[in-house]
Amino acid sequence: MKQYFGIDIGGTAVKLGIVDETGAVGPKAEESVNFDSYQTPVLTTVLKTAKAFVETQNIDVNTLEGVGVSATGQIDSRKGIVAGTCGNFPNYINSPIQAELERLFGLPVTVANDANCMTLGEVWVGGAKGYTDVIGVTLGTGVGGGLMRDMMAGEEPYIFVKHIYACASLVGGICCVWLYRSIGRLPAVFIAAFVVMAIRFLAAHFRWNLPHPKTLS
């Protein structure tokens, strides 16, 4: 049976385990990543902990198919790096997670956002198994979310084609990221929240809907 090395990088701890192709979890471990207020880079702690875990459990990495990493923050899965964060994580942005783990273990590595991975896991073997349209919310060091829907249905999500819900949130998110570096986290969050609520209020009051492209006959 195929086995994989699973690593979850959170804001307070890194969790590791061996998972088989059915979703069953074997040996596992956990280690703090903020034991010195992030003075030690998170990725340094992850690499050290992963190496120690493999050695302690006497795991032959050559028997593993690959490494799957769920990581907090905005993750560029194509490059396998941390593109950004929504909190104070010194020495974390631009961490080359994929490259460093591939160098350490010589295995293919895939890196994705932790909330998205959680949602996929619940659909695969968890509480959302059997469902095609799922929203997942993570409550940990921070708050995150993942969305999964059946694209084979050929239907556009309602929130993207009529009422202004998701678009208001996207605008607020862009404002938050844009303002974060110039005025700080809390002011950016409050201003972004106000922008979202203002857009929603105006949309409800004036009955705004998203433009719907005309179909050419």
For the segment 84-122, what is each residue's pLDDT rounded down to a tens digit?
A: 887 778 889 999 999 999 999 999 999 999 999 999 999
Q: Which of the listed CATH numbers 3.30.830.10, 3.40.50.720, 3.30.70.3000, 3.30.420.40 matches domain 3-118?
A: 3.30.420.40
The contacts of residue 210 (CB under 8 Å, 6+ apart) are 160, 161, 162, 163, 164, 167
Please tell me the pTM assigned to this model: 0.69
Q: Give per-residue pLDDT as tens, 15-53.
A: 999 999 999 999 999 999 999 988 999 999 999 999 999
Q: Where are the domains of the chain?
A: 3-118, 156-210
Inter-residue contact 169 to 196 (CB < 8 Å) = yes
The contacts of residue 157 (CB under 8 Å, 6+ apart) are 149, 166
